Structures are given as C-alpha cells and as structure tokens.
Amino acid sequence: VQAESLEDRCQVSPYACQRRTPLAHKNQVLTEALETMAEEARFCGSEGRSLAFSRAASVLKSLPWTVRGVKELHFLPCIGEHSRKIIQEVLEDGTSTEVENVRQSERYQTMKHFMKIFGVGVKTASQWYQEGLRTINDLQAHHAKLGKAQQAGLLHYRDLNSPVKRSEAEAIVQVVQKAVDQFLPGASVTLTGGFRRGKPSGHDVDLLITHPVEGQEVGLLSKVISWLDSQDFLLYHSTHRNASQALEDQELSVSMTAMDRLDHCFSIFCLNYPHGSIKGGSRAWEPGYELKDPGDATLWKAVRVDLVVAPYSQFPFALLGWTGSRNFERDLRRFSKHEKKMVLNSHTLYHTEKKIFLSAASEEEIFQHLGLEFMPPEERNA
Ligand code: 8DG
Ligand code: MN
Ligand code: MN
C-alpha cells in the first residue's frame, strides 16, 4: 500500500523546475536504464529521442516513492511509449534486454570511451568509430587529427575521468580567490554547478566570479588567467569573451543563447597536493597549496575548471544558470517561454509582451518573477 494519495500523484509537473528533486532518489534502477537509452540516442544524433528518455528519467528522480508497477506511470507526465516499455521490462524482469544490448554493443562502448576525452563530442567520436578506431591507442597510432583541447584531454585522460572531490573543489576556489584578490579586491568567487546542488563529487569545478561595483569586473578574467598560467596552475585554457558591442543591442542579446554572453574560460588546472599527501591516497586533501612539481605525477592532479565572470546586476541569473542541473535549466527556460512568455538566460529575464527586462537581486526574485516557488539548489538535481 502506497502512502501517497491519488491527488499527490496527479500533481507531478511536466516541468523539472516545478519538481523538487533531491540528489538521492528512489528509482535508481529505472533512471539508469532510461539514461543509458538517452545516452545511446545522443550518440546516434537523435536529440529529440534522447530528450524524451532524459525527461522520463528526470520525472522518476523527483518521485518520493519507488515505482513498482507500470499502472503507476499513467499518473506521470513525460513518460513516452518507448520509456514505458523499458520501465515495464525492468519492473518485470529486473533488467531490460534492449538496454543490456545497448550496453554491450561495440558502438556504444567505444563512443562512451572516446567521449570521456575532454574536447571530444558526438561528431568526432562517431567519425573515429566510422574510421574503425576503437581504443585510445588506435587514436595515437592512426595519427587522428587532434585539436588542442583534445590533446590536453588525452594527456590527462586518467585524472580528468577520476571524480573531483569537494575538498579538491574548495582548494581550487582558494587558488582562484587568491588570483582574483590581487587584481580586484572585493571580488567574490562562488562554487556553482553540481557542488552547489550538494553533490559530494563532480566531473569539474564550476566557478562564478563577480564584484559588487558594476563594471569593475571588466577585463578581470584575462588577468586572472594570465596570472594562474604564469604560476603554472594551468595545463590548458580556452577563454571566450563576450561581445560588448552586441550587448548594447538588446534585441540581439535576447536572441543569443545563455552563456555565450558572459566572459568564461574552460580550463584544466594543475592541483597540487601539500607535503606528504598523495593523489589517490586515503588522506583527504588539506588546505594549502604549492607550485607544481612536474617531476612527480603523484603530487598533482589535473582538474577541469569552468570560470565565469558576471557583472553584478547579472549575478543572480548567472548563478541560477550555472548551478544546473541541465534538465532543471532546460525546463526553467521552457517554462519561462511557454507558460510566461518570458526569455530566461544566464544574464537576463525578458518579458516578450511587455518588452521589458526584469531585474533581480537574488535567485529568489527570479523565481518570483516567473511565478515559481523557490527551489533551493539541493532540490534542482533533476
Ligand atoms: P558535474 O560537473 O558535477 O558532473 O555536474 P554539473 O556541474 O551539473 O554539470 P556541468 O556540465 O558542469 O554544468 C553545470 C552548469 O553549467 C549547467 O547546468 C550549465 C552550465 N554550463 C556548463 N557548460 C555549459 C555550456 O557549454 N553551455 C551552457 N549553456 N551552459 C553550460 O557547465
Ligand atoms: Mn560541473
Ligand atoms: Mn562545467
């Protein structure tokens, strides 16, 4: 007998931004199966199909109960025919043959392997697969043409595929704060992404930088990157500047996508371990850092870091946009557009009928503008 009333079950929203989704949920086996199907669809270039599986998984993640029968699915939004079939198989047999076949397929395994290389996306991975390449060794032997990002990705493959721990993320915050303080005292460094949602580990560290005096942040990112580079903290970096002349054309800025308008940098940090502490060892990372000793790879670790700089007035939008999850963000924008006639991105909220920009001093105010109940980061794990 389930505790939830029929009414509770009918109230599951089709928008992730209206569903509280904690990190730990009760339908792991089902969501893993659906997410494998979503991944496989993405590998095939079928974005729509991928999104459908991904949405179904996201709905199950938000449920405060474990789904035990296929009848329960009738109350839920976003569960398509194919997702229902997969769920039914798993519920009845404990496993889905379709999912197992995908997991065992050479193409899926190879694609997954190649896409774990930083800088490699679906296009490159499937091209390599088509050319008959299967392993990392094949890439090197075949002299596959690699971009700068991919070369760095290959070089640091092991480190970049071992989870980043919270203590390591906090050490990176310290390093970046120290860099920022030299050029712009009073600027803040905020940990966003999965760590802000309460994840104990992640695939990278997402940092958002701002300063309470609007305009002071201009030019900060390049100075910070140059300093970090001069101190041997960077193994790779690629900076993207916002186009400030385009920003003056507000119609244009609305049509642009989110992050493209903020200064940001995709990088790989060299995180150094203090005396005696060794990478992969059981001892936790302790505060304090030193310069890289390139001679001994057990003393440092390559860590992916995303740095974003936002003007103060855009900070709440940037914070909301970079906290994720990706499913949460996608639905927040979909909800804004379809339910509120507003365009939300990582720097503004625009009302398309009133033709005005809505300002906000906090994430809470953005939710208010959208007529949404505030969702704390820990409940955005859609
Ligand atoms: P993880 O790193 O712990 O594995 O998970 P995560 O922190 O949730 O994932 P993420 O890939 O680091 O993304 C976190 C948020 O950052 C995401 O919701 C949106 C923003 N973001 C990126 N990269 C990009 C990008 O290339 N485009 C856009 N629009 N947003 C991005 O990190
Ligand atoms: Mn992240
Ligand atoms: Mn990231």
Dihedral in degrees, nearest 10, Cα atoms 53, 71, 68, 83: -10
Determine which one of 8, 138, 260, 306 is catalytic: 306
pTM of the model: 0.91
Nearest to 82 by CA among 139, 127, 47, 37: 37
CA distance 355 to 250: 10
- DSSP-derived 3-state class of residue 137: helix
| CB-ligand 1 contact for 240 (6 Å cutoff) | no
- Note if 249 is an active site residue: no
- In testing the pocket of ligand 1, which one of 322, 329, 363, 379 has its CB within 8 Å of the most ligand atoms? 322
Q: 87 CA to middle of ligand 2, Å?
A: 29
What is the interface pTM, i.e. ipTM, of the complex?
A: 0.95
CA distance 131 to 143: 12
Return phi, psi of residue 242, to 5°.
-75, 150
Determine which one of 93, 159, 204, 293 is catalytic: 204
Total number of residues shown for the chain: 382
Find tokens 């860099």 and name the residue: 179
Side chain identity, residue 186: G
| CB-ligand 1 contact for 42 (6 Å cutoff) | no
CA distance 344 to 341: 10
Q: Chain-centre distance of CA 309, in angstroms?
A: 17
pLDDT tens, position by position, for the chain (382 residues)?
Answer: 455 665 666 689 999 999 999 999 999 999 999 999 999 999 999 999 999 999 999 999 999 999 999 999 999 999 999 999 999 999 999 999 999 999 999 999 999 999 999 999 999 999 999 999 999 999 988 877 899 999 999 999 999 999 999 999 999 999 999 999 999 999 999 999 999 999 999 999 999 999 999 999 999 999 999 999 999 999 999 998 875 434 433 434 444 454 456 899 999 999 988 766 667 554 444 444 444 455 666 789 999 999 999 999 999 999 999 999 999 999 999 999 999 999 999 999 999 999 999 999 999 999 999 999 999 999 999 9
